[in-house]
């Protein structure tokens, strides 16, 4: 039998949506959407509120039934794979995960090991190592005995990332993983994801509202609007003034990051200083000078 995880056997796309339609009740949020996620890369899914990012993520993770189309995971129709196999290959951090009442951090992270446990099996040394690594990597080791429902939003978010890491899957789907996090913890989480990608070869897909952060960390970006993919490619191709205008209806300037050269946007809003050749700053009428 061939090992689907052995090097060289991965199809170019780790995950692929083919003409997927999905939604809620009778309303389709995405309709006939096709998109491929390259193996071993970090892909950032961006787009305005309610454009269908989470719906797409849930559809490809088999958390939402498809009205039409198919999803291929490592080349196989995900519907044909046993649940346990999917859970061993694909970890997901949903947007608003719900923890069982009063569960401790340690017990919740242990649940992340579920796909790797046999019925009734106790924790193995391998489980202990993966759990300890996940707690350490997310800076949550000191919270291990605390009930999850007594944590701050940022602490809870890091615990959920630890749960996803404990699942130890080659592919991770993360819906807004840096929500609730202060700027230092955001960078810590993004650096951790970059490290998992570079050192462990994990394929990472994340939904983000921070376009500049996404452009710094992602190798590919997918821009969505109204349930469809407007543009997909490296940040330099996606984060352009034209695409930002089309996707978000926002005027901006895009400049290269001073260190990495990656594109960074500066939105031009009502209070933004407009550059002119004669004066470096133009103040909004009524503003104190
Ligand atoms: N469980 C649900 N039942 C009914 N409608 C839903 C449900 N979840 C999402 N929707 C609707 O589907 C549409 C797309 O939502 P989705 O969460 O996919 O958007 P999103 O791009 O992830 O948005 P955001 O950036 O605000 O998180 C929205 O109009 C939303 O109201």
Q: Rounded distance, CA 181 to CA 6, Å? A: 36
pLDDT category, 8, cuts 50, 70, 90? very low
DSSP for 102-114 reads: T-BHHHHHHHTTG
Quick one: tokens of 220? 């590919």
| Cα 123 to Cα 113, 134, 161, 163, distances in angstroms | 9, 15, 20, 15
- 58-74 tens-digit pLDDT: 999 999 999 999 999 99
CB distance 74 to 8 below 8 Å: no
Window from 12-26, 79-93, 184-198, 269-283 with minimum mean pLDDT: 269-283
Phi, psi of 81 (to 5 degrees): -95, 140
Whether 227 lines ligand 1, by a CB cut-off of 6 Å, is: no
pLDDT category, 268, cuts 50, 70, 90? confident
pLDDT category, 2, cuts 50, 70, 90? very low
* DSSP state for residue 59 in the 8-state scheme: H
ipTM over 0.90: yes
Nearest CA to ligand 1 atom 10: 24
Whether 96 lines ligand 1, by a CB cut-off of 6 Å, is: no
SS3 83: helix
Whether 59 lines ligand 1, by a CB cut-off of 6 Å, is: no
CA 95 / ligand 1 centre spacing (Å): 10
Whether 283 lines ligand 1, by a CB cut-off of 6 Å, is: no
| Cα 69 to Cα 53, 92, 96, 115, distances in angstroms | 17, 21, 26, 26
């Amino acid at each position: 039998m061939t090992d689907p995880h052995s090097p060289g056997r991965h199809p170019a796309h780790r995950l692929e949506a083919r003409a997927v339609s999905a939604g809620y009740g009778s309303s389709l949020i995405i309709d006939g959407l096709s998109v491929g996620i390259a193996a071993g890369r970090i892909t950032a899914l961006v787009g305005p509120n309610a454009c269908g990012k989470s719906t797409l993520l849930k559809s490809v993770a088999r958390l939402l039934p498809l009205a039409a189309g198919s999803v291929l995971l490592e080349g196989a129709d995900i519907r044909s794979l046993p649940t346990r196999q999917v859970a061993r290959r694909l970890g997901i951090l949903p947007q608003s995960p719900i923890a069982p009442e009063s569960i401790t951090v340690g017990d919740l992270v242990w649940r992340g090991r579920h796909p790797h446990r046999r019925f009734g099996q106790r924790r193995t040394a391998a489980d202990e190592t993966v759990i300890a690594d996940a707690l350490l990597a997310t800076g949550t080791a000191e919270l291990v005995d605390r009930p999850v429902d007594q944590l701050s939003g940022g602490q809870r978010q890091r615990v959920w990332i630890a749960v996803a890491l404990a699942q130890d899957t080659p592919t991770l789907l993360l819906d807004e993983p840096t929500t609730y996090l202060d700027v230092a913890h955001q960078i810590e989480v993004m650096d951790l994801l970059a490290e998992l990608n570079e050192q462990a070869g994990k394929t990472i897909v994340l939904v983000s509202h921070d376009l500049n952060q996404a452009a710094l960390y992602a190798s590919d970006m997918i821009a969505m609007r109204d349930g469809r993919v407007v543009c997909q490619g490296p940040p330099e191709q996606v984060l352009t003034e034209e695409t930002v205008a089309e996707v978000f209806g926002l005027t901006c300037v895009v400049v290269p990051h001073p260190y990495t050269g990656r594109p960074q946007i500066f939105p031009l809003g009502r209070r933004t200083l407009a550059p002119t050749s004669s004066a470096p700053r133009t103040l909004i009428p009524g503003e104190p000078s």
